Amino acid sequence: MPRTQMHLATIVSNGLGASPYAWLQPQVDPADYANIHALVRYAQAAERGKLDFIFLGDFLAQSQRTEAHAPGQTLEPTVVATAITLATKRIGVV
């Protein structure tokens, strides 16, 4: 009988987290939304956690948000993917 494996992944999108209010938490640096080094650190943490790959969603343009909302994505996914692959060894980027 073939052995079934599960592949684990995460989404690295804006450096702020999935919650729309994560950027308001005191331990979160709101400038991380445009910090490629923060996204690389998240990818390295995922690699240490034995995740198989990271998903980078694409977008048409930066969202128009007010200062009451978290900033939208600003970094181009292929640039982020390049930085992640240069800084990691055992994790894929999709």
Strand partners, 10: 54
CB–CB of 54/12 below 8 Å? yes
Write the burial class of residue 51 (CB in 10 Å: 0-12 exposed, 13-18 middle, 19+ buried): middle
Statement: the pTM of the whole predicted model exceeds 0.85? no
Q: Which structure tokens are listed for 77? A: 């996914």
Q: What is the pLDDT along the chain (94 residues), one digit of tens a residue?
A: 788 889 999 887 666 666 777 778 888 887 777 789 988 999 999 999 999 999 988 776 655 555 666 666 678 889 999 999 999 999 999 9
Instruction: Provide the pLDDT for residue 65.
Output: 58
